[in-house]
Amino acid sequence: VVPGETALAFYKAKNPTDKPIIGISTYNVIPFEAGQYFNKIQCFCFEEQRLNPQEEVDMPVFFYIDPEFAEDPKMAKIDLITLSYTFFEAKEGQKLPLPGYQ
């Protein structure tokens, strides 16, 4: 991935149960310091997503790495950034502390 260039990535989620599940996901970027340069244009995170029984769905993330990443001397040794998502089951009435998101 080239800093400044938009890129698309896919994850896949499956609901192996026989009940519909409503999930919500959050993400993490490793190494931590690279997270500030990671910009998501669109993704499936922070919103509840419903998966029907046995449903398997592709989950796209459209993002770019801030071009300033290439200028930051602290990032010079980083050539692998890992983006991970954790899917939680949304519980009735529970609101995740979403940072400034309506």
Partner 1 sequence: MSTAMNFSTKTFKPRPPDKGAFPLDHFGECSAFKERFMKCLRESGYESSACRPLSKAYLECRMDRQVLPQLMANEPLEKLGFKDLIDEKPEAKSDK
Q: Which residues bind partner 1 (CB under 8 A)?
A: 1-2, 5-8, 10, 26-32, 35, 39-47, 49, 52, 55, 57-62, 64, 98-101
- C-beta of 1 vs 70, nearer to partner 1: 1
Nearest partner of 44 among 27, 29, 31, 56, judged by Cα: 27
Token code pair at residue 17: 């149960």
- C-beta of 10 vs 91, nearer to partner 1: 10
Token code pair at residue 57: 């769905």
**Under 8 Å between Cβ of 14 and 56:** yes
CB of 98 to partner 1, least distance (A): 7
CB of 17 to partner 1, least distance (A): 17
